[in-house]
Structure 1
């Protein structure tokens, strides 16, 4: 499998350098690293160029547009996504590839996180609460697991299947959650235990930024209504699963929580 790693960035050269350094030390190196420069005014593009990363310019504002531009540009069979403030463990790419190789039926894989800065005593419990709250708040709306954009991978074929449906032109969309709606409606999302990503605690240092994330999440859920209003979405997912079972298709080929 060829692997593409996509990193959207805007004015975060320092963190991007650390992230790219961690990617260069992988036990299984990605076949290409794509840095999507979302109109940065700092040295983000230069930092990416020095490491040999492929730079994609995205002038349309917002993470949804930048992420989608990176996925569009990716040529690998597997597209991995992380953020500039992420610090992947040395075997992150290797574990991602193994997850897809071990289960050809899955369309996307996601994992957890660990904080690499902030008070040491707060890192583990806050990371656990953060991801648990995200999953608890979004899974009922989705009917399956959400994707965590700082630590996720999807097959390129899956992206090509949903790329025309995602809301890439709305900067106020929560792009991880929006992608989850579209991927999970047609493909299986699996959580991989032990696949944790180092990331910064800085989102919790700005109450305004954290609040905007919450508003974007709620807005993203509601904008998919009435078509994806939970009872109706759940019914479609269940009906699809039953139809596949009756047709002799492995139930794991269907969108499911697991």
Structure 2
């Protein structure tokens, strides 16, 4: 079971260097690390090459295009995804590989995060609030486990099947949420609370950042609800009920 790692990057060289250092220290080495240069103006690409990563250039702006380009380039049986600011534990690849090896039907895996750069008194509160919004509220809206781009993995065969459906050209969508919704409510996706990473609390830096993140999420929800069906229809399908829209 070979694991590729994909990291979309835009002008994030210091965080990327730390992320790549963590990936070099894994108990099980990944097959490859692919850094997707999404138009960087800093030395992110040089940092990636110096660390032994493969650099893929994606000129179309936005994480949807960058993430998809990385997944397309991956050669592993499983594609792990994190962000440049993800601080992964030493057994991250080992846990991901073991999960997919133990469950041949597993299509996607994700886990929570902890914001390491916030004031200590706010760290637990912010991390819990973000997890509730992402995995509980988001899960209710899509009738499945939302894959979180800072800490996720999917089987390469799953990506190959869903690749033609995902959005690549609209930078104002959450790529991980769009991917999850395109996989549908019956995809076998799992949340592992022990697959934990640390990330930067960028969403909490200002009210505008938080408001923008929520607006992008709602735009992603609405676009997929329009094409793939409402939350109610998704839950009916997840429960094994009939596709009522198909009968209309």
> Which position in structure 1 is the counterpart of 2:213?
213
Alignment of 1:1-258 (within 5 A): 1-226=1-226, 227-239=228-240
Measured after TM superposition, the shift of residue 136 of structure 1 is 2.7
1:207 CA drift (Å): 2.5
1:73-103 per-residue CA deviation (whole Å, 9 max, x = no partner) reads 0000000000001110111111111111121
1:131-174 deviation line (CA, Å, top 9, x unaligned)? 11122321122111111110000000000010000111110011
Tell me the SS of whatever aligns to 1:87: coil
Shift of the alpha carbon at 1:238?
Answer: 2.4
Structure 1 runs (4+) greater than 6 angstroms displaced: none
The alignment partner of 1:148 has SS state of coil
TM-score (norm 2): 0.93
**Structure number having the greater strand percentage:** 1
Q: Which runs of 5+ in 1 are unaligned?
A: 242-258
Distance 2:78 2:14 in 1: 27
TM normalised by structure 1 equals 0.90
8 Å contact kept, 2:203–2:213: no
Distance 1:124 1:92 in 2: 21
